[in-house]
Amino acid sequence: MDEHIRKDILDILNKSIRFVKSKDPVGLMDLSNRTVHDASIFQDEDSVGIAVIIYSLSKLIQRSDKSVSHKLSSYLKKSVEALSSKNISAFRKYMKTVIGEISVIDSKLKLYIEEVVNQAQIKKGSRIYAHGISMARACEMLGVTQWEMMNYIGKTSIPDTGKDEFGIKSRLNLARSLFK
C-alpha cells in the first residue's frame, strides 16, 4: 500500500471513529467522498473499500435508531492500530469484520445493509468513473456489474459533464459536408 494512501486512510479512519461515536452521518458521507479522490488517482482498492464502509455507516446511522457506535468503533480502532503498525493484512481483516458487523447489528437491517453496501459500491464507482477512470475498471475495483453502473449513471448528470468542443452548428455543418 502506498504510504500517502496509508496515511490518508489513517486520518479518515480516526475521523470516522469520532463521527460514528457522535452519530454524524453527514461527516461520514464527506469522509467517504474524500476517499474517492485517492481511489480514482491510484486505483487503490483499500480506499474504495473504506469509502464503501464509511458510506454504509453513514446510511446506517442516518436510518437506524439502534446504537451502533461501540462495536463498530472498537473494530475501527483495531483497524487503525493495524494500519499504524503497517500490518496491512490485519487491517483488511478488520475492515471485513466491520462489514460483517454492519450486517448483524439488526436482523431486520441485514437485507437493507446489503442493499446499502451494493448501492454504495455503485455510487462510489460512478464517482470514480466521473474522475476519468474507465467504467470497466471502476466496476472491477468495486465488484459491481457494468449494467448496474450504467443504470445508475444514466440517472445522474455524469455523462453530461464532458466539455463539448464543437457546437451544434459546427457538428451539423460537418455532417452536411460529409454527404455532399
Q: Looking at residue 78, what is its pLDDT?
A: 93
Q: Looking at residue 84, what is its pLDDT?
A: 93
pLDDT at 148 over 80: yes
Q: Can you tell me the distance from the alpha carbon of 134 to that of 25, in angstroms, rounded to the nearest whole number?
A: 29
Q: Can you tell me the distance from the alpha carbon of 147 to that of 158, in angstroms, rounded to the nearest whole number?
A: 16
The continuous run of DSSP H or E covering 106 comes out as none
Exposure string of 44-59, with b = 16+ CB inside 10 Å and e = fewer, is bebbbbbbbbbbbbbb
Q: Can you tell me the distance from the alpha carbon of 146 to that of 138, in angstroms, rounded to the nearest whole number?
A: 9
In degrees and rounded to multiples of 5, residue 68 shows phi and psi of -115, 0
Q: Residue for cell digits 452521518?
A: 25
Q: How confident is the model at residue 59 (pLDDT cuts 50, 70, 90)?
A: confident
Q: What is the DSSP letter of 133?
A: -
What's the grid cell of residue 168? Answer: 451544434
End-to-end Cα spacing for the chain: 57
pTM greater than 0.85 (yes/no): no
pLDDT single digits (tens) 66-99: 556 577 788 889 999 999 999 999 999 998 888 7
What's the grid cell of residue 71? Answer: 462495536
User: How many residues in total does the chain contain?
Assistant: 180
Q: Looking at residue 165, what is its pLDDT?
A: 61
Q: How confident is the model at residue 14 (pLDDT cuts 50, 70, 90)?
A: very high
CB–CB of 149/138 below 8 Å? yes
Taking the CA of residue 23 as centre, how many other CA atoms within 13 Å lie in the half-sphere pointing to its CB?
Answer: 11
